[in-house]
């Protein structure tokens, strides 16, 4: 499947972990009434991105790996939506939102390239 020996060697996983850390650090800044709403969803979506990359890598088949990468990419879309909602509601400072969206966009691009590479390698 890959010359890598561990999912932690994947640049996409590393950046997704960085993104998760940034989101987890930003989430407590949301208004108290959103701690169990938007903040919790933000945390879950952010943690889901590297988690699905890792889980897919360990599944043992290219098809499963690609499926989990698609789930990871779906979580980046959810995260974008939540961040844009936070922007509209002025829940977080604009520079924080911009940095998170930029990092999320970079993760999305990496996932897109990784999926395309895996699909080319299997003749899909």
What pLDDT is stored for residue 69 in this prediction?
98
27 versus 124: which is more confidently predicted?
27
Give the CA angle between residues 110, 37, 111 to the nearest 5°. Answer: 5
* 1 — pLDDT class (breaks 50, 70, 90): very low
* 5 — pLDDT class (breaks 50, 70, 90): confident
> Could you read off the pLDDT of 64-79 as tens digits, one per residue?
999 999 999 999 999 9
Distance CA 63, CA 98 (A): 34
Domains of the chain: 7-121 (1.20.1440.60)
What pLDDT is stored for residue 3 in this prediction?
65
Helical segments of 9-61, H only = 11-26, 38-57
Q: Which of 62, 73, 50, 53 is nearest to 118 (CA)?
A: 62
To the nearest whole number, what is the mean pLDDT of the chain?
Answer: 94
Q: Is residue 11 scored above 80 in pLDDT?
A: yes
* 60 — pLDDT class (breaks 50, 70, 90): confident
Residue pair 45/78 in contact (Cβ under 8 Å)? The answer is yes
Q: Which of 83, 57, 56 is nearest to 71 (CA)?
A: 56
Q: Is residue 93 scored above 60 in pLDDT?
A: yes
């Amino acid at each position: 499947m890959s010359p890598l020996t561990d999912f932690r060697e994947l640049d996409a996983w590393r950046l997704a972990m960085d993104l998760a850390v940034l989101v987890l650090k930003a989430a407590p800044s949301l208004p108290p009434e959103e701690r169990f709403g938007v903040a919790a969803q933000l945390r879950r979506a952010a943690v889901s991105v590297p988690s699905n990359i890792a889980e897919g890598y360990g599944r043992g088949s290219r098809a499963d790996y690609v499926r989990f990468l698609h789930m990871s990419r779906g979580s980046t879309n959810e995260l974008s939506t939540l961040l844009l909602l936070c922007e509209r509601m002025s829940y977080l400072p604009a520079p924080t939102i911009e940095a998170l969206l930029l990092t999320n966009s970079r993760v999305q691009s990496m996932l897109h390239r990784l999926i395309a590479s895996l699909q080319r390698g299997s003749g899909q």
